Structure 1
Amino acid sequence: MQRPLPIDQLVRASGGIAPRRQILDAGHTPKALAWNVGQGRLVRVRRAWYALPDAEPDRVNAVRLGGRLGSFSAAASYGIWRGLDRDLHVSWKPHGNVAKPGRVQFDFPASRDLPPGRSVISHWRVDGFAEGPDAWRESVPQTLAQILLSAEQTAAACSCDSALNRGLLDVFQLFELFERLPRRLRRLRLRLDGRADSGLETIVRLWLVSIGLDVRSQVMIGGRAVDLLVGTSLVIETDGREWHSDEERFNSDRIRTAQLQSLGYTVIKLSYVMIMFNWPLVEAVVRSALQSGRHLDAVR
């Protein structure tokens, strides 16, 4: 009979936190579990839950509060775009530990000890979605459902695009997701594009579409994809990286821009800071190019 993974390795493979039942089902005994706690290899989070001492704090706090990671917090654990949100989003069964979804305050260390500016945001689990493999966080469809029901539409679209781009769900699963949500949200489904490499790209694309422009994502030009192509000749690149910190990338970026310009394209580069904190400047730069007709130039 194959021996089970050591308990601490098992818990680490489960995301750093696991319920007692999972540990016992893997072949370990209550005595072995107690020994690991006594040796400091595990920490008892709450009744029937254990975590590694270095487990990610939001995961531990969500479980300590009696729920699991949901909405944007669960999204971040999957690598899905969450934008500027940094609150702790906790998911519960409807009418469970909290009276209603929203910003809540618990007289409990997991809530009191959050850094300044962070709050606990509660969410009720949406019916009709299968459980995910991890007991400490919601599944990807449940996570996106909670975001769609509670967040502003552009932010929700960014998360959906990100999940599609990372292959965490396909278009058929996305269709099923929207079918389980209120009809008022279904129009957003038509505005999603899983080709978007980042939420920055989605934000800019949705604005361009909203003002009536023809926009295509990840168009191949000269052997490489550009983030957004507006009309025939306006290329918009949304860059969340600090290019100046890497000389090789900096030079590669400048060469790529020069190549596009030599083919007749106008190139606008928008940084994370510009898009997230100086949107009026973004609009001014793009509208200036549009007003001069640079999106309609002939290209080679």
Structure 2
Amino acid sequence: MIEPAELLHVLGGIARGRHLQQFGSTRAQLSVAARAGTINRVRQGVYALATTDPKVVAAAAHGGSLTCADALRAHGVWVLPSVDAIVHVWLGGSGRRHPHTPCECIPHHSPGTAGVGLAPVASALVHAYRCLDQEAFFAAYESAWNLRLLSAHDRKRIRRELPKSAHRLLDLARPDAESGLESILRLRLHLLGIHLDCQVVIEGVGRVDFVAARRVIIEVDGRLNHEGPEMRHKDLTRDAAASRLGFETLRFDYAMIMHDWDAVARAVIAAIARARGRADDVSHKRRSRKQMHAQIAHLGMHL
């Protein structure tokens, strides 16, 4: 016989009693385990391990599942760091609150039936739109899509449940953003009227995060993929190869994007101006050469 604590571990640390009973745990066994302290009784009919995330336990005590940013983070979705101690709870379409102490929970009602544990990614994103700023939501949405946590059905559902004012963000979103920093940078530059080509493969350089004005490479250096002397050397080698091909490379890290955005925007705008200036200069020289050849040909006809 599998002990209730072992079942809870397999089921994610929290479950309803009737779910545990489907796997063979009787009410008597659950009561014995709760009295022995191997599992905790959250409220009537809900049990958890002592090691279960306290926010998940609080959400279950409130009557639903943990949602919003905390649930997205638990699912592995990229979410901006937060010290928010408030518990966001999905209660389904018509779930009711269960009084508990202490309680500073924020309830979210949306279609569906809420269980205990974590709200599904699609539901958590709908709720996150209500609580996060737009760029934080956008980054989380692209991250979930990139991680293949959103099906086409999920994306349609999110569009249906969010207000029409959110559709411009959904239309801009792409499934190839590999970090939330990339999403935030692209959204901010889009609002400045700057178009970026994303995840571009340049022969002799490799794949780069963005290209602007056909000649400006923009790389977002997250800590995971750009730390250490070896990775730094690789980045410098790529930048040198790009320079030989006529590209200018700009690199921005988390601190610059999140805390010194004005410097980032000014650098991008200046680099694009230089790239367009070089393009105009090349075009002018080509036109001059064509005009010169035409003049020579014209003179030859009259000699």
TM-score range, shorter chain: 0.7 to 0.9
Number of aligned residue pairs: 276
Q: Determine whether 1:135 maps to 2:113.
A: no
Letter in 2 for 1:124: H
Which runs of structure 2 are paired with 1:217-236 in the superposition (5 Å)?
217-222=198-203, 224-236=206-218
Q: Determine whether 1:108 maps to 2:90.
A: no
For structure 1, list consecutive stretches of 5 or more residues without a partner in the other structure.
Answer: 99-105, 112-119
Q: Determine whether 1:23 maps to 2:34.
A: no
**Counterpart selection for 1:45 from 42, 46, 56:** 42
For structure 2, list consecutive stretches of 5 or more residues without a partner in the other structure.
Answer: 283-303
Look up the SS of the partner of 1:292 in the other structure. Answer: helix
Look up the SS of the partner of 1:293 in the other structure. Answer: helix
Letter in 2 for 1:63: A
1:101 corresponds in structure 2 to: none
Letter in 1 for 2:265: E
1:206 corresponds in structure 2 to: 187
Q: Determine whether 1:122 maps to 2:106.
A: yes
1:193 corresponds in structure 2 to: 174
Q: Determine whether 1:152 maps to 2:133.
A: yes
Specify the structure having the higher radius of gyration (Cα): 2
Which runs of structure 2 are paired with 1:206-285 in the superposition (5 Å)?
206-222=187-203, 224-241=206-223, 245-285=227-267
Distance 2:188 2:214 in 1: 18
Residue 174 of structure 1 deviates from its aligned partner by 0.9
Residue 172 of structure 1 deviates from its aligned partner by 4.6
Given that 1:232 and 1:295 are in contact with CA atoms closer than 8 Å, whether structure 2 keeps it comes out as no
Give a deviation string over 1:213-260, Cα, whole Å, max 9, x none. 221221122373211111212111112216675333232233233222
TM-score normalised per structure 1: 0.80
1:291 corresponds in structure 2 to: 273
Percent of residue pairs identical:
28
1:103 corresponds in structure 2 to: none
Which runs of structure 2 are paired with 1:21-100 in the superposition (5 Å)?
21-87=18-84, 88-93=87-92, 96-97=96-97
Distance 2:241 2:34 in 1: 60
1:116 corresponds in structure 2 to: none
Given that 1:219 and 1:229 are in contact with CA atoms closer than 8 Å, whether structure 2 keeps it comes out as yes
Q: Where is the helix percentage greater, Structure 1 or Structure 2?
A: 2
Give a deviation string over 1:123-150, Cα, whole Å, max 9, x none. 42212xx457x63222122111112233
Residue 295 of structure 1 deviates from its aligned partner by 9.3
Given that 1:89 and 1:122 are in contact with CA atoms closer than 8 Å, whether structure 2 keeps it comes out as yes
Given that 2:215 and 2:275 are in contact with CA atoms closer than 8 Å, whether structure 1 keeps it comes out as no
Given that 1:266 and 1:295 are in contact with CA atoms closer than 8 Å, whether structure 2 keeps it comes out as no
**1:8–1:246 Cα change, 3 Å:** farther
Given that 1:236 and 1:268 are in contact with CA atoms closer than 8 Å, whether structure 2 keeps it comes out as yes
1:11 corresponds in structure 2 to: 8
Look up the SS of the partner of 2:172 in the other structure. Answer: coil
Letter in 1 for 2:108: W
